[in-house]
Each structure stands twice: as structure tokens, then as C-alpha cells.
Chains A and B, each alone.
Chain A
Amino acid sequence: MNQHKQKGIMRILEPVGRNLGLTLFAMFALFPLIWMVICAFKSDAQMYNTVFRFTPTLENFRAVLIGSDYFRAFFQNLLVAGGAVIVTVIAGVPCAYALARYNFRKKEDVAFQILSFKFAPEIMVILPIFLIFQKIGIYDTYLGLIWVYQLITMPLLIWVVRGYFEDISVEVEQAAQLDGYTWYEVFFKTLIPLIKPGLVASALLAFIFAWNSFTFPLILSGSKIQTITITALRYIASDTVHYGQVAVASTIAVLPEVIVALFIQKHLVRGLSFGAVKG
């Protein structure tokens, strides 16, 4: 009888506990974002002496969006990050295919080499790259940034997509060729749909990494190209820090990532877990 009662209590406590845990985690994860949005509406005067009760103001938005070249930085960032992802997809998918399908000498070494680009801290390689970029004249250009972003975006995509290619049996390709399709038709009509979840998920992650990249554009871009991460820094002046404006810049910078992620949420979870199992 007593045991029965205990079981009944457990049945109530379990979902309560689970939801409580999830709520705590959600607060932990989301609170910085909420805090950022709140800060965006505070004036500099109220920044330090109020918590939740303050007079909302749009002054920060006006200063950032109208008073500075924030939108230029936004679109330049979009261009650089988007360009980097496009290059990664175009070059990385065939590379992943080759690593999955063909046998050549030192194959695993090549694959590991590609992955190892992610090991080195950016700050360690940035100085030599800076010197090289100045020498060959691609400092502060789109080409230079897109190129160097491949270090961030390419390894991830290659490794995820390679796992997907390895999961597709060679016979499927052979069957499609026997059905009368050329290799390119097989690749685009049969293989691409099969790797799509992995491709979409890894491309999105690559985009986020490129979008948020700070070290590379800090050193390798100057006055012509300004990414959003560098622009946000400008509101931290030497005498005062305009936290409100930093908050506005960051809030708007997060928007594209959130929107894209919500759209392809379905692919995201499946895409990253699916290929990784066998990869």
C-alpha cells in the first residue's frame, strides 16, 4: 500500500522535476540573450542603476542604425560569410566524396590534415597569414577573407558530409549508372538528395562560425571591409562604453542565424546526429 503511494508520488514528481530542470537550463541558456535585449532598450544613464524597471528608449537603435554604417557592415558580413559557405560547399562536397569513395595513398592523413586546421588557435596562425596577405595584396579584400574563412568552415563540412557519403552503398551509384545515368546525373539526382540533411546542417553551422568569426576579420580586414563583429567593438570607446549600442548591434547580428536555424531546425538535429554515427 505504502509502496503504491510512493509510486503515485513519483509519477507526479517525475514530470515536475524534468520540467523544472529544463526550465532552469532554458533560463541559463536564454538569459544572456534576454539581458542583451533588455540592455538594448536602456539609456546609458540607466544602464548601471536599474535591473528590470527602466524607461525604455529607442535611442540606442537610432545611434546604431542611423548614426553609423552598421548596415554596411551587416551586408559585408553577409557577403563574406555567405561567400565562404558557398565556396566550402562547392569545393568541400567533391572533396568529401573523394575521401569517402576513392582509395589513394595517405588518404587518412589528408583527411586528418583537413580536420587539424581546426585545432590550431586562430591567433597563432594569424600573424603569418597577415604578412602573406599583405605581400600578395589580398589584405582587406573579400577574396582574402573568404579564403581564410575556409579554415573555419571547410573541415566541419567535409567531415560531416564524408560520413554521409560513406553510408551510401557503392552499389546505389553503380545501379544508377546501369540505369543509364551519367556520373553527373547520378551525383546530382541520387547522391545529393541523400546527403542533403548533412549538407544543410553542416553548411548552417559553417555559416554561423563564419558569421561570428572575430580574430580573422580583426587582423585581416581594414577600412574597406568591416564585419559586424568588428563594428560592434567600435561602441566600446576609450572613455565610455556604450553598452546599449553594443547590445543593439549584437541583437541584430544574431537575427539571421536564429531565423535560418529555425527554418531548418528539422534538418539540423537529424543531420548532425545521423551522419556522425558512422562517420
Chain B
Amino acid sequence: MAQIELQGITKKFGDVTALSDIDLTVRDNEFFVLFGPAGAGKTTLLKTIAGAEFPEQGLVKIDGQIMNHTESKDRNVSMVFENYALYPNLSVYDNIASPMRSKLYKRDEDYIRQSVDKVTNMMKINHLLERKPSQLSNGQRQRVALGRCLVRNPNVFLMDEPLAHLDAKLRHFMRGELKEMQTSINSTTIYVTHDYMEAMSLADRIAVLNHGRIIQTGTAQEMYYTPRNEFVACLFGEPEINILEARRQVNGADVYLTLPGQSVKLLPAEDTAAALREAETDNIHIGMRGNDISFAFEKNGDDWIEGSVYANEPIGNKVIMTVKVGDIKIAVTCPNDTAADMDQTVYIKFNMVNAIYFHGETQEFIIRNNMSRYTKDQQEG
């Protein structure tokens, strides 16, 4: 139960900079998710907090105490490693009991048995207690690693993709359990994942990492609705957000956008017009989510854009249709009974109210409709 602060953390491995100038505060009792593509530095950041890696620059503070020179055993943190890091010579029971048998966190055997029973029941691995890690499947190993992390009551739980190797059903179940546990025992948790659904469903706040830098920190809502740049926008949401390269046209007081090769004028929402007019480039990227695009097989008006069906993928509760307009491909979310033939003509229309605008050159966020609603938390914080 502690607040974690990182100030100006820089970590290099030889010539490779794994983390560069990371500033981050994880509040007490917060469920904080580190999110980013492979190689972004998420694991290194966790290990820096755990004390398994030592930064070249910067401070690691736990509860206001500088921890840079504290050995990892004295930091009272508990971690799930991505590769499980189980003790191959010990049984599942002894693996999970291990943190409670060290001199530092010593407990009596009765207490240990109860705790191990509790977590193994929750993880549904209570029938495997006598086995060695080599006799387990990857999903089972991962649950043992998670169990070893959860039996303790540390300052902070560090979890490095703890659900990555579980099957979908179990992952969903464990996600619920983790969330429930986190609220019931009031613990600070830092959780690494590259699954955006996991990130959004679990997190109080999310930090997006790329190339060792924090791109954006905020709630799941902020990430989804007001991403700082196109990179963040592309990470959240399925299908991936469509980034449309558009030209800004200013006509007196009016501002509108056009797509290359298309005559249809895209009119931005009223409260976004001013910011778009002031943008110092005519090259505007429109971020448009698949479910903000309507489609029809007949032309219903002049503001519909003609394209052809490139692909039509049913994924259970919805159909993702890829529409080719000129050279660009646009993913559209459709109801799950949508049937379409390849190369069939289709008309689409953008719901410009939900468009997110990015600077064409820097790819930075410019504006979206109804900003105040999505950033309310940030202003309060």
C-alpha cells in the first residue's frame, strides 16, 4: 500500500536506451497499467521498480523513500515475471509458499497452508500442488507464478503480462478476480500488458510507452477518446482506428476537409472548427473509428463516399468490413448479419462528430468534439 514515484529514470543496456527520462507517479491503491508494443521498455520499468535493474539516472521512490540503493528483497514488492521464473526444483506448493518462508517475511506453516489454499483455489490449480513446474502447462505455470505473487501483502504488486498465456475464458475470469482482489485488499498494482482490452478493463490509469518513453498517461477514457497522437490512437480499439489523410479547406468563416480524390466536403463539428482553422498546416489527419462510419449499398445522398468491398470478416458479435476508397482502406464495423460480395460497390458516411483530428506532419492530437467531457478527470486531478 504505497505510492510509487519515478523521477527522470534512464536505463541503458550497452548502447541501447531501454528507458529514457521516465517520470511517473502511481498513486496509493491505484491499478496502473503500462501499455505499449513489444520492446517499449515495460518490463525494464517494472524491474527498475522491483530493484532487479538499476537505472543510470533518476530516482525510484516508494512511499516517498528513495529506493535506488535498497536491495530488492527490502523493497517489499511482489512480482509476476513474464517467463514465470518458478523454482524448477520445488513443487507448486513450495513455490507459492517460498515468499512466506524467507527470514524477512516469515510465517508459520499453518498460515502458509491457508494462504496457499486460498490462492490455488482462486487460480484453480489446487489439484497440482505436488507437481514440479516442468510437469505443468504454460498456462498452469503462469497461474503458479501469479499465485506466488499474490500470497503476499506487499507495498506494490508488479505484474508482467500475468494472463498472457491463459486461454481466453480463463483470462476473462482472472481479469475479474484481479480487479475484485485489488479493490478488496487495497493494493497498489502496476500491470504490464499489450492487450488493450485488458488495459482498458482493469486500469484506473494507463501509461502508454514506446521506445522507452512515456507517450501519454491517463484514464482508459482519455486514451480512447483523446489520444495524444496517432500512435496512441492506433493502440486502442478493434478494428484499429482509421487515419484518413485530409486537406483543410478554409473558405471565409467555414472550415471543411476533403479526402484526396473525393469531392465530398467533410464538415467538422462546430466546437472543433476554431482549433482546426488555427492549425498551422493544411495537412490534417482524421482519426475515425470503425463504428463511427455508416455504410449502405445504395447512394443515399451527396455526402456518401463510394468505395468497394475489399474484405468482410465476421468476428462473432460484429462484422468488420474493409472498404477500399481510392487507394485507402477503411475498416467499418457492421452488424453481424452483414453480407457483402468482394468488390461490391458500397457507400460510406463519416460521423464527423466523433472524429479525432491530428496534425498531418507531427501526428500530434489537435482537437476532438466535446473535449471537456473526456478530460474532466484530468482537470480535477
Main secondary structure of the interface of A (DSSP, over half): helix
* Residue with the highest number of chain B CB atoms closer than 10 Å, among A172, A175, A194: A175
Residue ID in chain B nearest A185 by CB atoms: B102
The answer to whether A172 and B102 have CB atoms under 8 Å apart is no
Within 8 A of A (CB), among B74-90: 75, 77-79, 81, 83-89
Chain A nearest CB, measured from B58 CB (Å) = 20
Which chain B positions have C-beta within 8 A of A193? 89
Q: A174-B47, A174-B72, A194-B89 are in contact. Are A179 and B81 (CB under 8 A)?
A: no
Asked if B73 lies at the interface with its beta carbon under 8 angstroms from chain A, I say: yes
Contacts of A182 in B (CB 8 A): 73
Q: Does A190 contact B (CB under 8 A)?
A: yes
**Residues of B40-74 contacting chain A, CB below 8 A:** 47, 50-52, 71-73
Instruction: Using A174-B81, A194-B88 as known contacts, say yes or no to A181 and B102 having CB atoms under 8 A apart.
Output: yes
Interface string of B230-260 (1 = CB under 8 A from A): 0000000000000000000000000000000
Consensus secondary structure, chain B interface: loop
Known A180-B103, A181-B102, A190-B87; contact A175-B73, beta-carbon cutoff 8 A = no
| A169 close to chain B: CB less than 8 A | yes
Q: Which residue of A lies closest to B53 (CB)?
A: A174
Contact B71 A180 (CB under 8 A): no
Docked complex: A155-182 residues within 8 A CB-CB of B: 169-172, 174-182
* 21 contacting pairs across A/B (C-beta < 8 A): A171-B52, A171-B83, A171-B84, A171-B85, A172-B86, A174-B47, A174-B50, A174-B85, A175-B79, A177-B71, A178-B51, A178-B77, A178-B99, A179-B73, A179-B98, A179-B105, A180-B99, A180-B102, A180-B104, A193-B89, A194-B88
Interface positions of B (Cβ within 8 A of A): 47, 50-52, 71-73, 75, 77-79, 81, 83-89, 98-99, 102-105, 148
Question: Which A-B residue pairs are the 3 nearest by beta carbons?
Answer: A180-B102, A180-B104, A171-B85
Could you list which residues of chain A lie within 8 angstroms of chain B, going by C-beta atoms? 169-172, 174-182, 185, 190, 193-194
For the complex with contacts A171-B85, A174-B72, 12 further pairs of A-B residues with Cβ separation under 8 Å are A169-B83, A170-B52, A172-B86, A174-B52, A174-B79, A175-B85, A175-B86, A177-B71, A178-B78, A179-B98, A179-B99, A190-B89
